[in-house]
Structure 1
Amino acid sequence: MAQEDYYEVLGVNRDADAKTIKEAFRQLAFKYHPDRSENGERNADIMKRVNEAYAVLSHPEKRQAYDAMRTQYGDNAYGQFRNAYSQQDIFNGSDVYRVFEEMARSFGLRGVDDIFSDFYGPGYRKFEFKRHGLHGKGFIYRGGFGKRRGQTMAGQPPKSFGRFARYLLQKATGVALPKDGEDIYDTIHLTPEFARTGGPYPYRHRQRDKKLVVKIPSGARSGQQIRLVQMGALGKNGGIAGDLYLKVKLKKPLLEKAKDFVVSTFSR
């Protein structure tokens, strides 16, 4: 399967200088701006790709890392790079946000928050950082292009490599990067009768120390998972909370338990 090439996304040569890269990004951002085109869904997908490509190629260290991976991995460079750098890592320190703010002021277009909410949907979050004389804005979103959350690509380095790259970037900038919370997995035990009818189920969220009421669908099966969005571990520094997955397990009826006990006792 063909993978992204950041240079091709922006339409620039491999040796393009910073000014050329920025100008290419400005032109594409203006061309595909949702206030100037009716093809919103297609343009949103294009702009997500363009934003990411610019965030990488406009940052000297990230561009150098990407170029090194292109030399080593060829057509698989994008997959290797995206596994090593999270979305937060990629957009931290980028002026993507500022470029859209400038367009909004210059051409009377919508504000950047409205635009990015359209592009990235509910996964979009913005953040600001102030540290050691540095001040800036950035944004993160859950579910980048090229792969879905939870998927990995063949031949990629382990996730620990991505965490290490994140650590180095954070040490270099001195900025606490947003980090999404982990997903939580738990098991709930239902009687066959309750699983058949469904209804509200009281669940104690131990990590958050709170009581939830989970809606169990009728006909729930053993092994089925119920997902509660953003009810997992909390994110850090503005990151999004993970999801909570509850695996259904059916309780055995009392008569069946007694039968199992008798069989196990007399078969010894």
Structure 2
Amino acid sequence: MAVAFTPEEAVLASSTVVTMLPSSPHVRKVYTESSGIIPTLRLLSAEEAKATLCIDSTTLDVEVGREVAAETQETGADMVDAPVSGGVTGAKAGTLSFLVGGEERAFLRAQPILAAMGKRIIHCGPSGSGLAAKICNNLVLGVEQIVVAEAMLLGQRLGLDPAVLAGVINCSTGACWSSMVNNPVPGALPDKSPPCERDYEGGFATSLMLKVRERGIFAWRTGRSPAFEHRISAWRQTSRVTPAALCRWRKRQKASMQRS
């Protein structure tokens, strides 16, 4: 198997290019700068460009994703945004969900490729829709993770056994993915292996969750949510008064919010 050392080499060597990068600036650089994907696509014949499919699984700003997709499509190539959900556990098990945005034709081309890496391939709508769905989902996840961490911490301080409290939450209305799979307290899920059982290594980093939160804040602004300013004010106030939610361990797993 040949190794491509630049985006240009990757485009010239393959009709399908899959990218997954840290954030918006990296996507802009890889796709738009010299020797990037889009300039290289412009060098191809119309037939070669049309035969090319670009799949970007980065979680980035919706507007940036749409701009890059539009520029890519102008070359004749197809492109979809396809951020993933499911975490490290899902990646290892091959059970990731791909949230796809793009034209129907591009989605149908991408579907068998994504199916080799994930279990659920969901067409969310036109370009940027996969990113929008990912950001909304992760906003829910981030809030759930903080609330579960705070509830578990409170329960321990009130004398509850973590496993007992987790059992109560998980058979009650408080049950969620963060409580059932990613509980941040060692021993709370004796039949599972969340990152807290590995000293909080090997999970979704808090720094990445903060990045997703910033994507959500940007989306709230551009989406003209009427309650935007109230949400931001509430978030800032909560961050000041909730020590366990401050994410002091930014480079570690998000479950480390329990470590306060």
- Give the TM-score taking structure 1 as reference length: 0.24
Q: Which has the higher helix share?
A: 2
Q: Which has the higher strand share?
A: 1
Instruction: Pick the structure with greater CA Rg.
Output: 1
